[in-house]
Amino acid sequence: MGQLRLSSASFVALPGAALGDIEGELRFAGNGKLEKASLQSSDRSLLIEAKPGADGLDLQIEGRAWKPAGSTLSFDALQATGTLARNRLSVRNIDTTFLGGLLKGQWQLEWSSALNMSGEAQLSRLDSRRLSAALVPSLKLEGDFGGLLRLRGAGNDWPTVWRNAEATVDMNITRGLLTGL
């Protein structure tokens, strides 16, 4: 088989974490090994190109108005590179417009025994009003939000990883107003 086309496919990598309604194609070499994969969400908001690399599959990721499943947040524009290995997904060089500002960083997920997630991002010029409405509606912020975000979480399934997630932020708000504290 030289080529496999996908339509309305779902990839379930972890319990509670799936990429659904995926379209695309997988191309194989004459020896049956994967040469290239091109996958996209049915609404074309997420595109993933994958090729075999030294440490697993090398990924090129692009997004336009992409909203991860189960999330209230969306990424206006997203570019990243990554590697999918046997027990690990590393996403590097994340560069995205998010909540009216910029997010640049990296994120890693490991699942050799339990699920472990970690990441770090530099945030700049995020709309504080949109940020607080999405994450802490009782806190009223105004201004441009920036800083360094560090995120860690662990658990036996995807929802538990997010429930156990810890985030630290060294932040600054310019031209801002903070009420309700």
Integer Cα distance of 60 and 158 in angstroms: 23
pLDDT in tens, 116-151: 999 999 999 988 888 888 777 787 778 888 899 999
* CA distances to 13, 39, 59, 145, 147 from 171, in Å: 33, 36, 31, 7, 4
Burial bucket for residue 129 (CB in 10 Å: 0-12, 13-18, 19+) = middle
pLDDT in tens, 81-97: 999 998 899 999 999 99
What order do you get walking across the sheet with 115-127 strand by strand?
A: 3-14, 17-28, 34-41, 46-53, 56-66, 75-85, 88-98, 101-110, 115-127, 140-155, 166-179
pLDDT at 152 over 60: yes
pLDDT in tens, 165-178: 999 989 888 877 66
Place of tokens 């500002």: 101
Question: Which carries the bigger pLDDT value, residue 18 or residue 37?
Answer: 37
Largest CA distance in the chain: 64
Question: Which carries the bigger pLDDT value, residue 179 or residue 34?
Answer: 34
pLDDT band at 67 (very low <50, low <70, confident <90, very high): confident
